[in-house]
Structure 1
Amino acid sequence: MTILQSVIQRMANNSASSKAWCITLVSAILVIVADKAKPQYAWIAVIPTILFFVLDSYYLALEKGIRNAYNDFIKKLHTQALLADDLFVVVPQGGLFGLFVKSMMSFSVWPFYLTLYGMIYAAKVFVI
């Protein structure tokens, strides 16, 4: 149980770190673009935003899959259907691709990156 809890916590931390790194990288790119007075290159900031969006969604999908495995483990424990083989299984449950698509639509992912896209556009049009 502790293994599953620590994996879930690690995925949540990775998700938060990916958002922090995305803001840092996009800000650095926009500062360089503004310093060089080349607003046509502001679109470059969209590339790390897309990559971190995918990475963050992947971490969220893994977290959900591990949480499903944890809930299944607890259910088996309470119904006394737990086998010795179930003790050290740390595999996401629920189909990772389906969880990935769901996580891309999650409220913890898309508003952040959509706002960041808006900020990139606003910086390109109004600031740079």
Structure 2
Amino acid sequence: MDNKKKLEVLEISAVQSHISMLQGIINRMAANSANCKNWTVTLVAAMLVLLVDKNMQIPNAWICLVPIALFYLLDCYYLGLERLCIASQNKFLKRIYNDEDYIESLYKVEGLKDKCKQFCNTIKAMNSVSTTLFYLIVAIAVLLLGGIIKF
């Protein structure tokens, strides 16, 4: 095999590794988002059980809204990061498709260092159905239970 062929094989391997790295990051962000939802349900259910068990008053059910709000913000942050990684991957693949120089962007996740982009994507994620609808339903359920069950 001549040097040009060896270099092409190395480039193909490096590109596959880079895409695999980005996919791994995207998968971790999606798993973190799912974990936020799992922890929300677990903590809210545990808090409601404690409120019922201790015969607390109805106004104390609002305390369940605190973990809902915190996990909602964390979930939006992870969704925003996931979208940045997807955009970075798409930009990288577009460079390859257009035969542009992509070597300098191997093993770099572009766009994640920009705190402004992270903040903007977190705000955009707050409009996502996958986050807003879930946490809104949980919050409404807590408020309904707080009004129906005499804590």
TM over 0.5: yes
> Deviations 1:66-88 (Å, cap 9, x if unpaired)?
00000000000111213322001
Q: Does 1:53 align with 2:78?
A: no
- Match of residue 106, structure 1, among 128, 131, 137: 128
Q: Provide the TM-score with structure 1 as the length reference.
A: 0.94
- Match of residue 22, structure 1, among 34, 40, 47: 40
Aligned residues: 128
Q: Which structure's CA Rg is the greater one?
A: 2
Q: Mapping of 1:1-128 within 5 angstroms?
A: 1-38=19-56, 39-92=58-111, 95-128=117-150
The CA RMSD over aligned residues, in Å, is 1.3
> Deviations 1:81-104 (Å, cap 9, x if unpaired)?
133220011244682222111101
Could you say what secondary structure the match of 1:73 adopts? helix
Could you say what secondary structure the match of 1:108 adopts? helix
Structure 1 runs not aligned, ≥5 long: none
Contact 2:81–2:118, Cα closer than 8 Å, also in 1: yes
Identical-residue share of aligned pairs (%): 35
